[in-house]
Structure 1
């Protein structure tokens, strides 16, 4: 039973791209679109119905708060270990201000130890793919970045995550100022073995 136009589904998936903040126009995305993107994220597959994805949405003045927090935390931790880089600090302080919205991507670890952590991380990745596809359908540029403070334990509490949880990065969003990027992939035949 076919309920959807498979041609449109195929086209949507093949048009998904990472669109970076330096490619954004500065136009602000309507919050209802952001809500729809997050609602579709919530329909990702999840083992044991744990629904481990946790998101914090930053917009307006919230982007400045995120920029100040991440650049400040980077400076504090990198100076402590002797790896401070001024250009990285400046990038962390300015890059969020290029986006319309940024959503932190968190994984809330469930209490059921029978569910491996990797399955919870994978569920969050599926939620982010739903976000990517929904954003693409709206013409919203986005990308999932995992640099900066992503893997610092000290960052977790700012995003309402506990010690057992994981911060997995940031989903930047904005309206592209140029045409939608073209994509490329090597043939699927190079990556699949069929056994009949």
Structure 2
């Protein structure tokens, strides 16, 4: 698949199975993340990979957050099972570095670009994935579990694996609804 075809046809897939990327494929995914736009060459990223027992640890982190909020049973169940929707989950963290010309928000955007690049690298190699966000990214106990402090932010959970089905075609969109020229 060439790069333009990949970008124009990208779709998230919520049903993923084994195998997860490993070896050179996983290395390519991480390297793609490290090529995200990075004003000041600050490399403001950290990637925490959960697979196997790591998904159990991630589930325990999410469940503890839900329990600390006295969440309803359905939320507790969702927290327990969320990391098992794919054989691998990469938590992507913006590790903000003080810089006079590169504000924290720009470093958050850089980490978000890393997530997209990693997902595209996975798809280019025959894997699939989806990017999850949500309240747990900002929950104090989840932040603490991942060593997120100050202006650092979890920018997403990237679920990766092998697609269970063929992706649907992306919807066609009228470009005139999204583009203006000055």
* TM-score after normalising by structure 2: 0.91
Which of 65, 68, 71 in structure 1 is aligned with 2:60? Answer: 68
Higher radius of gyration, 1 or 2: 1
8 Å CA contact retained: 2:85, 2:159: no
Displacement of 1:182 in angstroms is 1.7
Displacement of 1:178 in angstroms is 0.9
Displacement of 1:162 in angstroms is 2.1
Q: Distance in 2 between matches of 1:108 and 1:102?
A: 18
RMSD: 1.7
* TM-score after normalising by structure 1: 0.85
The match for 2:37 is 45
Displacement of 1:127 in angstroms is 1.0
Displacement of 1:102 in angstroms is 0.3
Displacement of 1:166 in angstroms is 0.9
Displacement of 1:183 in angstroms is 1.0
Q: Which 5+ residue runs of structure 2 have no aligned equivalent?
A: none
Q: Distance in 1 between matches of 2:65 and 2:116?
A: 28
Rate the CA distance shift 1:26–1:8 in 2: closer, same or farther, 3 A: closer
8 Å CA contact retained: 2:115, 2:156: no
Displacement of 1:185 in angstroms is 4.1
Displacement of 1:31 in angstroms is 3.8
1:107-155 deviation line (CA, Å, top 9, x unaligned)? 1111114322221111112111111211111121111111241111222
The match for 2:51 is 59
